[in-house]
Structure 1
Amino acid sequence: MAHIKALAMKIAMVALVLLVVLSGFYGYPVLSTIVLSLLIVAVSYIVGDLLILRKANNTTATISDFAVVLFMTWFAAIPIYGTEVPFIPALISAIIIAAGEWVFHKYVSKQVHPEIEGVYSS
Structure 2
Amino acid sequence: MSRFLMKAAVTGMIVAICLWWFANATWASAILTALGLTVIAYLIGDQLILRATNNITATIADAVIAGFYLWFVARWMDWPLSFGELMITVALLGVAELVYHRFLGIYDNNRINKEPGK
Q: Structure 2 length normalisation: TM-score?
A: 0.81
* Alignment deviations for residues 17-74 of structure 1 (CA, whole Å, 9 cap, x no partner): 1222110343111101111101101110011111111111000000000001111011
Unaligned runs of 5+ in 2: 111-118
Rounded Cα–Cα distance in structure 1 between residues aligned with 2:108 and 2:25: 33
CA 1:5–1:88: 2 relative to 1, 3 Å = same
Report how far residue 82 of structure 1 moved: 4.1
Counterpart position of 1:97: 93
CA contact (8 A) 2:11 2:38 kept: yes
- Find the partner of 1:85 among 81, 85, 94: 81
d(CA) in 2 for partners of 1:48, 1:96: 16
Aligned residue for 1:30? 27
The aligned length equals 111
| Change in CA separation of 1:112 and 1:74 when aligned onto 2, cut-off 3 Å | farther
Instruction: State yes or no: 1:59 paired with 2:69.
Output: no
**What value does the CA root-mean-square deviation take over the aligned residues?**
2.2
Distance 1:41 1:99 in 2: 15
Q: Identity over the aligned pairs, expressed in percent?
A: 28
Q: Name structure 1 gaps, 5 residues minimum.
A: 115-122
Report SS of the residue matched to 2:24.
coil
Structure 1 position 110, deviation (Å): 4.5
Aligned-residue offset at 1:85? 3.2
Asked if 2 retains the 8 angstrom alpha-carbon contact of 1:36 and 1:77, the reply is: no
Closer/same/farther in 2, CA of residues 75 and 25 from structure 1, 3 Å limit: closer
